Every structure is written in structure tokens, then in C-alpha cells.
Structure 1
Amino acid sequence: MKKLVFSLSVLALTLGSCSSNDDEGTVQPIPTGEISGDITTAKTYPLGNYTLQGTVKIKNGGSLTIEAGSTITANNSDGTADALLVENGGKLYLNGTAAQPIVFTEASSTPGSWGGIIMFGDAPIVGSNGNTTATSEDGNNLTYGGTNATHNGGSLKYVRVEYAGKKLTDNTSEMNGFSFYSVGTGTVLENLVAYKGADDGFEFYGGTVSTKNLISYGNFDDSFDWQDGWRGQENTNWYAYQTQTGNYGMEIEAKSVNNAFWPVVSNITLKRAAGTVTEGGTSAAEYDAIQFKKEGNGEYNNVVISGYTTAGATAVRIQDVATNTNQVDGGKIKMLNVKITDGTSQFAAKDATFTVTFPTGNYTTSTTTTGATLTSGAWSIVNGVNLIQ
């Protein structure tokens, strides 16, 4: 059962005496309370400050709406695995604004403290061995995949998720800032921030959904990651800033299936601050801006890359022979209008066993490339720091 307990305290401000000419004003109370349990009907939370207790599941037929400007706080110290999970058939409506974002955070401000926002749909995937369904890797073990390309999981606008990326006790199940399992094109994902999580900022597990205006800041693993044949076609304005700890700017794979489709992303900025190391230390060699592996592919246009200057790093890494043969040589990877602002090499193979050569026109550079173009506001500012560096 979901429960919302409103604060009963009201701060009243009385101006002057009680004469007929005096004005009286009241500061309205800010609702507080707890969000917990399963949501099976339509529930709305007004602007307020709430606590997230455990894994809140929006079930098939249920919906959750939280109004702009609200803050929802998880608490790792109580021992529960906090997360907000939308099951297939559930709807999540988080429509903040640039001035009043909806913020999900954690009481201790410690990366990896909770599970972030997880959404499931029934849009198509291509899993291992070409399977059309798979089991989630978030510890919930839910089946995802289907044939509903237009799946609609709701609308997320101007939402910031802080300190997520919880790693579960089995040491293999992980959560991200935002996890999208077979989410479809009917879902709206705009102006989202994944801030200082202990895993990926954004991860797509198949599906057809597209996104615009994403910020991945200070996440320990990859800024953007996907698998299972994700094929969003209208993605734009992705911005990543890796600082202190971070692996790839973008990790791209397709479960070793040579798909006849691919995602399209325009206007990308990938930045890495000086001194940033990978999760396993620099020797782990996950320090490239973009990695393609296991038949990952896609078209990427207007890309700015800077700061990936660790010895041996490159802007674009092809990790295996199959990806090089089927995706690079096959014309299914296009890197267009790339601008590298330092001495990082353009692209390279994993090792000397094969050579990467893009077909003419499939890897181009430009000195006028702008990368992501985002407008800052309260949605992109944390503790007085503008995340758009």
C-alpha cells in the first residue's frame, strides 16, 4: 500500500492587529510524507518534500504523478533497497520545469546509495542469441521485451536523479541513474540529469524510446550505455562530464547480434576532467570516449570530445573483430562531424590483431562542431555548481 502522510504543521504569519484595515497572510504548508509500497491506481503527490521507502513499484494499470518542484529523498541507512520502478503497463508522470525540477536524491549524498528510476516496457529488444525477451539485471529479475514499439511509460521532464547506481549484494546486479528496459516511443524523456551515481548515468536495454537534453555528470561507470538492440531514432543534446571516477563516455553494444537497425544521436558532448580515473584504476583501460563492442553500431553526428588524454586512450575504440567487420566495414557505424579538442587520436582497434578503416564518409571531422546545446537553469545546478561545464 502506498501512503502519503501530510505534515500537520502550518506556519501562520499574522500582520498587524485584528482591525478591519489589517491584512492577514498565511504561508501554505509544504506537504511531507512517505512514498512506499505498490501503486495500483492513479496517485498524485502535490509539490512537497517526500521520503522514498523501499522499492516503490508502479504496477500495470497504476500511475504516479509528482508535481514540479518536489524533492524525493531516499535513505540508505535504513537498509532497504530504495528505487522507483515502473512495471510494464504502469505510468510515471514527472513533469518538472527548468526553474522547478523534480529532484530525487539521497540523505547521505553518497554515490551508489539507491537504485534510481527504473522503467519497463514491452517494446522490441534483441537479446543474447537473438532472443526477443531477457531478464533484468537490476536484481528484480523482471522479464522485458515484446512487440509494442509505441509503448508509453509516461512522461519525464526536468528530472534529476542524484547518488543512485546501487550495487546489490550479489555483486553482479547493478542499478543506474536511469534504467530503461524495452521502453517505447510513446514515452517522453526530456531534460534529465543523472548526477554522481556509482554505475551508469543512463542505460537502455533495447526498446525504441528516444531522449533529448540529457546530462550525465560524475557517474562512476559509463555516462551513456546500451545493449539489447536499442534503436531510438530521435535523440539529441547529450552532455557528459566525467570527474574523479568514470569509465567510457559511451559504451555501445548489441549482444553480439548483427542487427539491421541502429540508434541515431545528434549533438553530443563528452568531457573528462583532468585526473579522472576508471573504476578499476587507469590500468583497466576503460578510459576511451566511445567504445563499440559486441556488434554495437549507430549514427552519431556533431560530436565534441575533450579530456580523454590518458596514455593509450582514443576517441572511438572498436573492441572486437566482429564489430569491425560487420559494423565498421559494413557501414553501420557512422561518426559524423567529430571535433576532438586535444591530442586524442580519432579511432583505434582494441589491439594489433586487426585494423580499423572507416568507409569513405562514415567518419568525418569538423572544426565548427558545437556538440550538445543546453540551456542551464535550476534543473542543471547542484549545490551552486552548473553541471554544464
Structure 2
Amino acid sequence: MKKNLLSLFSLALALSLTLSSCSIEINDGDNGSGTVTTPGTTESVLSGSGTLSGTITKDILIKKGNYTLDGVVKVTNGATITIEAGAVFNAVTTKSSSLVILQDGKINAVGTASEPIVFTTANKQPGDWGGITLYGKAPIKAVNGLPQALSEDGNSVYYGGDDANHNSGTMKFVRVEYGGKKINDGTSETNSMTFYSVGAGTTLENLVSYKGTDDGFEFFGGTVSAKNLVAYGNYDDSFDWQDAWSGQNNTNWYAFQTGTGNFGMEIEASANVDNTAPKISNITLIRDANTNPEVAGSVEISAIQFKRQGTGIFSNVYISGYKNMGGKSAYAVLIQDAATETSQVNTGKVVVAPLTYLNSDNAGVWGYAFTPNGAKTFTNTATVTKVTLTPGAWATVDGVNLLAALQ
């Protein structure tokens, strides 16, 4: 036993998550397995295999390998979780497992196109686990313009701050599979990737949300921007935001809805008239044939919905496959309420152009859930092209190329 422990210490220096309730279960090949706790170390190292659980309060480095994510893992107390390219996490599905970066924590997860960082499950069923959540300190505007709100993810965390450039870390070439597990009340679900008041100093690039039971990506206020996003086969909306999210440098967002799916994009500003419209260049939304909304007969079959003062300036938008269903009409753009039309659409804070709308119903007009005051029309623009993304393992699941519809 002493020999085993000495080998463990020499291999990894100090393996633990320090003074918190968290521990790391280590498996190191020939030297056996065990649990090592070393309070007070400046950094823990997980080398090749093991279990991540509890609360992380000191820096931790997770090397390339295969790991178990057990329960809700929170990063806090100024700690950074650094994850190397090629690390794969299998989440425990018998509990509400998730990775949560709190406002005083940080993530540094940098994969590559050929060696992404993957969060998945052995069951491979939508809703198996909770997904990844980041909290930042950037401003929000919640209902009634409040600068703070209580999170919807079951963690009961108040989010919202005053640092527009706050940095929650970096995520590149990270894929989340089968997220959206139901939480506390048995009806609410987490998103595959959720960003609460995340600041513009945070880097989000080349991220995949695959077959989650809620939204693929959701932003609750904040100022962060995201590039090269893939939302594939998510049950609710592919992209969603509220609380006046205002990212200005977004590009290359791609959604492929298949089997079950609601809106391609659902947009609101929590009824705040005064909000800064986020900007996204290059959006491709494709709805596969025979894709149904979660609730039969629902209106949630359009590509982009704006409601509750939601705004957005979108350019180079390619939309395909949105068909009337269940007695409801599908549109490229659907405006849900007169207040949003009056205060946002008619003031130039809702723009979707140039736009191409193919293989879809109700071409040439925006949809309205009321009698509009100046209904919008559009002409398909031939120069609009689909999003271009780097191919590779980062966008391939079980042999399926998630980017195939872009070719």
C-alpha cells in the first residue's frame, strides 16, 4: 500500500481537489487504484483516468484520457479547471451530473479538431445528464430590468454583475452529448450549454451541442460572443437567449434539427425595451424532413422567433426545411407580439438580411401572431451561402458527420 501511494504521488505530485468535499478517484494502471487527498496543494493533476466529483476549490489539470463525471461538479474559489485535448468524460446518469463553473471559477478547455474534449454518457440517450454551465459577472437585464436573477438550472445561483469584460475562461473544440437532464421539480431541464451573465473576456469557439432534450445553447444576459457553434438534434430550441444578452462578435452558427425540435432560434429580452441587439454573421438553420415539435400542434416550428422585446442583427442567413405542420404555419421569421414589433422590429433592432429561405413554406413573408403594423417581406438572396466549418472528429459522433448538411 505504501509503495502504491508513493507511486501515485511521484506520478501526479498531488492528486485531489483540496480542502473542499471533492475527491478524485485515481486509476493509474500497474500501480492499482485508490483515492488520494492532499489539502493545500496549489494544483491537482488527473492523469489518464479517474473520477471527477464534488467542488473544486484549487486549480486542477486534467490530461488526455477517459474519466467519469459523477454528480454536479462545481468550480469555485478562484480555481481553474484545465482540460487537455482528447479528454473524454462519461457522466453518471443515475444522478443530475453536470459541470458548473461559478462566477469565481474558470475553465480552460482547449481541444483540437482532431482531438476534441468530449462530455458524453455510456447510455447515449438524450437527457442523460445536465451539461455544462458557466456563470460570469457581466451585466444582465432580467424581468423589470433587474440586474440580477435566480438561475433556472437547479443550482439556485444569483447571476448578473457589472463587469462587461469578465473572463470565465476558454472553451474550444468541446462537444456535449445527450444533455438536458430533468432537475429538482421533475419538469425543468438544463441546456446542453448554458451561459449565465458571461462576459466578453470569455472565449467560446468550435462547440457542439448534440442531442440534448432542452436547448442546444442558451444565453442569460451577458456580453460574451461565440464562434463556430453546432447545435445538432436538440429537442427544444437550437439557440436561445433572454435577459438582454448582447454579444457583438458572433459568427458561424449552425443548427441541424432532426427527429424532435422546436424553434431554430428563440429570442427574447425579458420584456426590456431598452436592450443592445446582439450581432451574428453567418447563420445556417436546417430542419430535417419529418422533424416534429416537442408538443404536437405547437407553433414552435419556425426558424427564428422574436418575442418579449427580443432583438438581433443577423446577416448571411441560410434557412431550409421549415414546413407547415399540425395546422400551424412555419416561417423564416416569426414575431410573437405587437410590442416587439413596435419597439424593436420597427426601430431597426431586428434585422435578418440577406436571407435565403429554401424548401420551406410561407416564403417571402415574415410571420406574425397578431395583426402587424407594417408586415415585413423579403426576397431570397442568391449570394447567401451555408456556414463553413472545419471538418474533423470534433463534429463527428458515432461515425455521423454532423456537418454533412453543409456540403
TM over 0.5: yes
Distance in 2 (CA, whole Å) between partners of 1:10 and 1:287 is 55
Q: How many Å apart are 1:31 and its aligned residue?
A: 1.9
Q: Give how far 1:376 is off.
A: 1.0
Aligned: 1:156 with 2:174: no
Amino acid at match of 1:110: Q
Conservation of the 8 A alpha-carbon contact between 1:237 and 1:371: no
1:1-389 matches, cutoff 5 A: 1-10=21-30, 31-77=48-94, 80-281=95-296, 283-311=297-325, 312-344=329-361, 345-358=363-376, 365-388=380-403, 389=405
For residue 203 of structure 1, give the secondary structure of its aligned residue in structure 2. strand
Distance 1:294 1:347 in 2: 21
Shift of 1:168: 1.6
Which residue in 1 is equivalent to 2:14? none
Aligned partner of residue 208 in structure 2, secondary structure:
strand
The CA deviation at 1:253 is 0.3
State the distance in 2 between where 1:367 and 1:35 align. Answer: 50
> What letter matches 2:335 in structure 1?
I
Local SS of the residue matching 2:25: coil
Q: How far off is 1:309 after superposition?
A: 1.3
| Alpha-carbon distance between aligned partners in 2 of 1:211 and 1:346, rounded to the nearest angstrom | 29
Partner of 1:14: none
Residues 43 and 65 in structure 1, CA contact (< 8 A), matched pair in contact too: yes
Opposite residue 249 of structure 1, the aligned amino acid is G
Q: Which amino acid aligns with 1:60?
A: N
Is the Cα–Cα contact under 8 Å of residues 318 and 356 in structure 1 kept in the other structure?
Answer: no
Query: Which secondary structure does the structure 2 equivalent of 1:5 belong to?
Result: strand
1:215 touches 1:239 (CA, 8 Å); kept in 2? yes
User: Residue 259 of structure 1: CA displacement?
Assistant: 2.0
Percent identity over the alignment?
50
Change (3 A) 1:309 1:46: same
Distance 2:374 2:30 in 1: 66
Whichever residue aligns with residue 264 of structure 1, its letter is K
Residues in 2 aligned to 1:229 and 1:260: alpha-carbon distance in whole angstroms: 6
Question: Is the 1:329–1:357 contact (alpha carbons within 8 Å) kept by the matching residues of 2?
Answer: no
CA distance in 2 between counterparts of 1:155 and 1:201 reads 18
Letter in 1 for 2:210: Y
Relative to structure 1, the CA distance from residue 279 to residue 356 in structure 2 (aligned partners, 3 Å threshold; closer, same or farther) is: farther
User: Structure 2 length normalisation: TM-score?
Assistant: 0.87
Q: Per-residue deviation at 1:174?
A: 2.2
| Cα pair distance change 1:90/1:364, threshold 3 Å | farther
Gaps of 5+ in 1: 12-29
CA distance in structure 1 between the aligned counterparts of 2:59 and 2:285, rounded to whole angstroms: 39
Shift of 1:366: 1.3
Provide the secondary structure at the position in 2 that maps to 1:324.
helix
Over 3 Å counting, the alpha-carbon distance change for 1:58 and 1:263 in structure 2 is same
What code does the residue aligned with 2:291 have?
Answer: T
Q: Contact between 1:194 and 1:217, CA under 8 Å: does it hold in 2? A: yes
How many Å apart are 1:8 and its aligned residue? 3.2
Any idea what the Cα deviations from partners look like across 1:88-115, whole Å, max 9, x if unmatched?
0201111000000000001211101111
Distance in structure 2 (CA, Å) of the matches to 1:169 and 1:144 = 19
Q: How many positions carry a matched residue from both structures?
A: 366
- Aligned in 2, Cα 1:277/1:355: closer, same or farther, shift over 3 Å? farther
Moved more, 236-245 or 30-39: 30-39
- Please state how far the C-alpha of 1:81 moved relative to its aligned partner: 1.0
Pick closer, same or farther for the CA change 1:356–1:251 going to 2, 3 Å.
farther
What is the distance in 1 between the residues matched to 2:364 and 2:223?
29
Deviation at 1:336, TM superposition (A): 1.2
Question: 1: CA distance between counterparts of 2:322 and 2:109?
Answer: 34
Q: Which amino acid aligns with 2:55?
A: D
CA contact (8 A) 1:317 1:347 kept: no
Cα-Cα RMSD: 1.7
Deviations 1:328-383 (A, max 9, x none): 11111111110112243244343353355349xxx664111013111110000011
Structure 1 stretch 63-72 or stretch 343-352: which is displaced more? 343-352
Give, as a single letter, the amino acid of the residue that structure 1 aligns with 2:76.
K
Alpha-carbon displacement from aligned partner over 1:244-270 (angstroms, at most 9, x marks no partner): 000000000001111241100000000
Determine if contact 1:316/1:346 at 8 Å carries over to the other structure: no
**TM-score, normalised by the number of residues in structure 1:** 0.91
Call closer, same or farther: CA 1:343–1:248 in 2, change over 3 Å: closer
